[in-house]
Structure 1
Amino acid sequence: MKDEYDFSTATRGKFFRKGARLVPPVHLEPEVLTYLSDLAETQGTSLNDLVNTLLKGDIERLDAEK
């Protein structure tokens, strides 16, 4: 790493996008990933769609308990 860097030609906020949302990665345990991947394939859907459907169902149940 250099002792000094020249930022005289840099552009402030070049990559800033107002309202951009960070989508954090979700890490599943290997057994859970295998199970859900197999289930998604059996149902003919993507892993993302299956996980979102399952989580939405859980959210509805949690909200109903309130």
Structure 2
Amino acid sequence: MKSEYDFSQGEQGKFYHPDATFHYPIYLEPDVEEFVTKIAEHKKIEVQALVNEWLRNNIKLIQSIE
């Protein structure tokens, strides 16, 4: 690593996109991942699709109680 860098030719905001969306990874505990993976394989769907389905169902349940 250099002790000093020259940013005099740099362009501020060049890579800034105000409408950019970010997807954050979610890390499952090993036992949860194993359980979800088995069910997803059995249903022949992606783990992400299964988890989203479960979360949507929980959201509907919570909203129906409120």
Unaligned runs of 5+ in 1: none
The list of structure 1 runs, each at least 4 consecutive aligned residues, that deviate by more than 6 angstroms after superposition, is: none
The corresponding residue for 1:59 is 59
Q: With structure 1 as the length reference, what TM-score do the two structures score?
A: 0.90
Tell me, what secondary structure is at the counterpart of 2:20? coil
Alpha-carbon distance in structure 1 between the residues aligned to 2:14 and 2:33: 37
Alpha-carbon distance in structure 2 between the residues aligned to 1:15 and 1:34: 38
- Alpha-carbon deviation of 1:39? 0.4
Q: With structure 2 as the length reference, what TM-score do the two structures score?
A: 0.90
Unaligned runs of 5+ in 2: none
Tell me, what secondary structure is at the counterpart of 2:18? coil
CA RMSD in angstroms, aligned pairs only: 1.1
